[in-house]
Chains A and B, each alone.
Chain A
Amino acid sequence: MNLSSINIFIDHLRAGVLRFFSRGNQWRRRIFLFLAVIGPGIITSNVDNDAGGIATYTQAGSAYGYTLLWSLVPMTIALYVTMEMCARMGVITGKGLSDLIREEFGFRSTFFVMITGFFVDLFNVVAEFAGVAAAGQLFGLSKYVTVPLAAIIVWVLVLKGTYRFVEVVFLVLCSFYLSYLFSALLSHPDWVLAARMTIIPSGHMDTSYLLLLTALVGTTIAPWQFFYLQAGFVEKKVGPRQYPQARLDVLIGSISCMIIVFFIIVCTAATLNRNGLTNISDAGEAAKALIPLAGKWAAWTFAFGLLNASLFAATILPLSTAHVICEGLGLEAGLDHKFREAPAFYWLYTILIVVGGGIVLLPNAPLWKIFIFSQVGNGIWLPIVVIFILLLVNRRDLMGEHTNGFLFNLVAWVTAVAMIILTFVLVIQSIYQAFHPPAT
């Protein structure tokens, strides 16, 4: 079976499902309306749990047990609030975020956003392929096998698939995140304690605790995701009438993303932290440490989750980046175009994957430093993008009656300022770390 027949198969499957829900009672009809829109929100927020994210959550769970769980609730709100604004802009204006930045803030701002985006995302892609390598090593596979294989899978998927096909694959990958549910179950955590710690904030006030908190926010809310999310809704041609469904998509995405984070922290808290392994900073290392503590199945589901997350993000990150750059420069972009119609788009995509994967394969590649660079880059880029979003979403000439209300604006600006302060702290810390690497 080749890719195009899979494409056709999935299209038929989807059409069948949609047809089933398009008839009958009101509930079926409602589900139909949602199914037609679902995708960008859930995909984007789940990709947030990428290799870098999982490393941070592992660190949080192993170093501080359940005590950081309370931060997930405000983070869900922050994630939802920021993503909802982009979804709304995409649905109402029918334009991508970099299109809007270009039209309202001119060429130079756009160019700056694009160039920063390119390098930040390149570092992120390297981090994802490093995640693939780490997960592969746990299954006994060399990185010289897994990384090129992953790069080819990712490249072919996007190059040969249609948007609808790729989206279905992505949605399936989202469900694979549930493997962390099994890792958590297999590690027999104290669920009551975990639930209590989620609801009641508990703060240690030492610096490393605060830094980890900052890192949690920094890895969960990444700037590139806003571009991808908005482009996703535009490419799906979701209009104002389907806005409630789009919002629901974003809401489900934000919550499900945080549920996965919850399971990862719970899993590592119940095993690594409980057994005194509080100094683990790497997801592959964590999976290895899980074998004697919770059995090989817990370790395997954990590593599988990491592999899935890394592969998933390695597909979407280059895609999103290529989109941003082409849109801003006024070049053809998008999966609905063929290679010949949008060469710049596909070339950028290819370069990001080849260079990103290639760096991981270098012997003695300074992966630790690259990981830090990617976080610093995200931190510098994020405030700029969020401020652009807030300025755009409040423009009445663009958004009409759909600008932010007072309360929403208040929440959004507070979120933005808090994120900016937190990421600023993270950037300084990361730069400090880059010059004082941990003893390994």
Chain B
Amino acid sequence: MLYATELMGAAAYDAQANYVGRVREFFIEPADQPNRVSHFLISRGRFQPLVARYDQVSKVVPGRIDLNVNERALDAYQPNEAWLAVQKDLLDQQIIDTSGRKVVRVNDVDLSELRSNNHIELRIAQVDVGVPGAVRRLLQGLAPSSLVRRLQSKLPQRSIRWEFVNLIEPDPLRRVKLRITHEKLEDLHPADLAEMMEELSAAERQGIIASLDEETAAAVLAELDERLTTQIVEKLDPEKAADIIEEMAPDAAADLLADLPKETSEELLEEMPNREAHDVRELLAFDPSTAGGMMNTEFAFVSEGSSREEVLEWLRNQEFNLEQLDTMVILDKLGHFAGTVPIARILLAGPEQPMGELKTDPLVSITSDASEKDVFELFDKYNLRMLTVLDNDRRPIGVVTVDDVVSRLVNA
């Protein structure tokens, strides 16, 4: 195992064992090979720096690199946006460890050697985020590397395999050139991703949100600290922002838009399809500290006369978030609130049993202008999972779910 720190500043010698210069940087060309060190930057004082390709290197030991070609075979260095620089882009920067779901800072990069016919390739094996890397960085050039190696072997290791490393690059053009995707981030739980993003810089957060698909972005924004959410949305391209907000639940979207300046939220509502915009506008009209301001307008309702089979058949064709759906609202023939049915009761009911027979006793509901405190008290008293919000004609217009209550209480 070699370490990037030990190779920075290494002396490079050509095939005739003539001194060429010192290695100042390694590059990876992710478009070609995601983990191979593809180029070595060799500087030689006031002359133009050279680059050695991976297949021009014959031997690598700490502090020394031997080339298998003559100095004249090396190219002059030209900056290339599509190259990832180990020192500049990786060391000391923050990365996301997708397996440990944490944001960490890179202390050093561990390289493994891969021997071919007449050259040797270096591959990034893992990044060091622990004490050994820090010690190496500190002592590099001050103490002989054999001593440093002996010292570090006694220290606890902490490193992350390269395939679990997710780089964070705020510049979208560079991100494309470096083939940095955030697919691995999309597999994480949005709440974990939101928590990690709080540790990043504003530009990096912006970069991540911009590159996620709209659905994931919406889920992450809903979990993020609202002060950060508004900052991010304000900086997004309005069209993209509207696409993301469209994917959010109407209550979360309304909460977000309520925190934005009036002109911005209007602009975003204009960009959204009419139906979604209409739902959100309705919610925005409610005072945030009332039941109306807490509720979600997307909820499942069926008539009290429908049978279990009919309800299940209907449910199969709907796009509800099934993880969250645990109670259904039932309506009488006039469309008035008739009660709620827990999904578990439907599960155990006979196929022909009508919903009206399954409803929970007593009938609990609340009006949209009731205060949030009244909502909390009802949840506490009746151990509710969900509370139906009614208009003045006793028609259900939305529901408050237990997660809305919890997040209100936590953020109070």
Contact = CB atoms under 8 A, between A and B. Distances in A.
Contacts of A95: 201
A12 B104 contact: no
Contacts of B70: none
A330 B412 contact: no
B137 A240 contact: no
B93 A103 contact: yes
A111 interface: yes
B93 A239 contact: no
A93 B202 contact: yes
Given A94-B205, A95-B201, A107-B92, A240 B105 contact: no
Contacts of B104: 330
A201 interface: no
Interface stretch (B46-54, B78-86, B214-222, B227-235): B227-235
Given A240-B231, A241-B234, A108 B137 contact: yes
Contact of B91 (A106, A238, A241): A106
Interface size class of A (residues with CB under 8 A): 20 to 34
A194 interface: no
A393 to B, nearest CB: 15
A15 interface: yes
Contacts of B200: 94
A237 interface: yes
A106 B105 CA distance: 12
A94 B202 contact: yes
Contacts of B92: 102-103, 106-107, 110
Given A94-B201, A239-B202, A107 B107 contact: yes
Nearest to B232: A239
A102 B202 contact: no
Interface string B150-179: 000000000000000000000000000000
SS class, residues of chain B in contact with chain A: mixed
Contact of B134 (A94, A107, A239): A107
A240 B137 CA distance: 35
A340 B289 CA distance: 34
A93 B203 contact: yes
Interface in A173-196: none
Nearest to B204: A94
B105 A330 contact: yes
Contact of B227 (A108, A237, A329): A237
Most chain A CB within 10 A, of B92, B94, B231, B412, is at: B92
Interface of A: 11-12, 15, 19, 92-95, 102-103, 106-108, 110-111, 237-241, 329-330
Interface of B: 91-94, 104-105, 107, 129, 134, 137-138, 198, 200-203, 205, 225, 227-228, 230-231, 234, 289, 412
19 contacts: A15-B412, A92-B202, A93-B203, A94-B200, A102-B92, A106-B91, A106-B92, A107-B91, A107-B137, A237-B227, A237-B228, A237-B231, A239-B202, A239-B228, A239-B231, A240-B202, A329-B134, A330-B94, A330-B104
6 interchain residue pairs of minimum CB distance: A330-B105, A239-B231, A94-B202, A107-B137, A237-B227, A95-B201
Given A94-B200, A330-B105, 4 more contacts: A102-B92, A237-B228, A241-B231, A330-B129
